[in-house]
Chains A and B, each alone.
Chain A
Amino acid sequence: MSAPASSGSKFPRNMRGVLGGWARVSHANFERWLYLMHRLTGLVVGLYLIAHLAETSDIVPAYLSGDENIWNNLMQSLYTPAAHAGLLIIAAFAVYHGLNGVRLFLAASGVGVGRPIRPEWPYAPVSLRSFQRSLGWLFIAVTLILTAYAFYELFVVTHFV
C-alpha cells in the first residue's frame, strides 16, 4: 500500500495522509488547534501578499503618468464592505500568525516548556502544563483585541462615520 522511498521522478502519493492529518482534529488538544490555525493563517496571508504586491503596483502608472485617478479608481473599487471584510480576515490572520510564531520561536528556544520530570502517572507532559499554554491563550486574547481595532478602522470609520 505505502509507496517505497523514492528518488527521481516517481513520487509516492501522500497528500491524503498529510491533509487528513491537518483536518484530523476530533481528538486535537489546544496546541494542535494552534498548529492547524498557524498553517491556515500562514497560507492565506502568504497568498494575500502576492495579490497585495499586484494591487499596490498600480501606484506606478499613476505616479509616472501623473494621473492619480488610476490609483483612486482602484481604491474606490476596493472600498466596499466585502473587500473590507476580506481585509479584516487578513488582519486577524496576520496578527494571529505573528503572535503564535513568537510562541513557537520561544518553544523552539526551550522557553516556557517546563523542566523534564520522571514519567509518572498520569503521564501528562510538562510542556502542556507550562507557560507555553498560557501564552497561547494570551496571544489569542491580543489577536481578538487587535481584530476589534481593525474592525473599527475598516468598518466603523469607513462605513458608519
Chain B
Amino acid sequence: MVRESTLMWIQYITGLGILVLGALHFASLTLLAPGGYPGALEYKIVIFRYTDPLWAAALEAFLALLSYHVFNGFRVLLLELNQGSGWTKAVNVTMALAAIAAFLYGTRTILVFHLGGAI
C-alpha cells in the first residue's frame, strides 16, 4: 500500500504540472489563437492542436496529471465524509477506476488523430 503522505506529495507535484500545462491550455484558447477565444474554437485550429505532435503530447500529459489529481482529490473529499475500512477500500478502488477510465477516454480522443479510427 502506498502511504497517504506519498499520495499527497504526488498530488502536489501533479498540481504544479497542471499549473504549467493549464496555463498553456488557457493560452492556447486565448493569446496563442488567431482571433482570440472565438478563433481557438474553429475546426481547423482544433484539428491542428490534436494533430501537431507537441500540442498532442502536451494535451496527453495534461490529461494524465489531471486524471490523478482530480480523482485523488475526490478520494480525499469522500474519505472525509465517512470512515471505515470498507468505505475506504470502496472509495480507493472506485476513484482509481474512474481515474483510469477518464484517462483512457480522453486519450482515445487524442490518439484517434495519430492512429486513425481503429482505436
Contacts and interface: CB of A to CB of B under 8 A. Distances in A.
Partners in one complex: yes
Interface in A57-80: 57, 59-60, 62-64, 68, 71-72, 75, 79
Interface stretch (A29-37, A98-106, A117-125, A127-135): A98-106
A42 B41 CA distance: 25
Contacts, number: 110
A53 B112 CA distance: 14
Interface residues of A, number: 48
Interface of A: 5-15, 18-19, 39, 42-43, 45-46, 49-50, 53, 56-57, 59-60, 62-64, 68, 71-72, 75, 79, 91, 94, 98-99, 101-102, 104-105, 108, 149-150, 153-154, 157-158
Interface of B: 8, 12, 15-16, 18-19, 22, 26, 29-30, 36-38, 41, 43, 46-47, 50, 66, 70-71, 73-74, 77, 80-87, 102, 105-106, 108-109, 112-113, 117
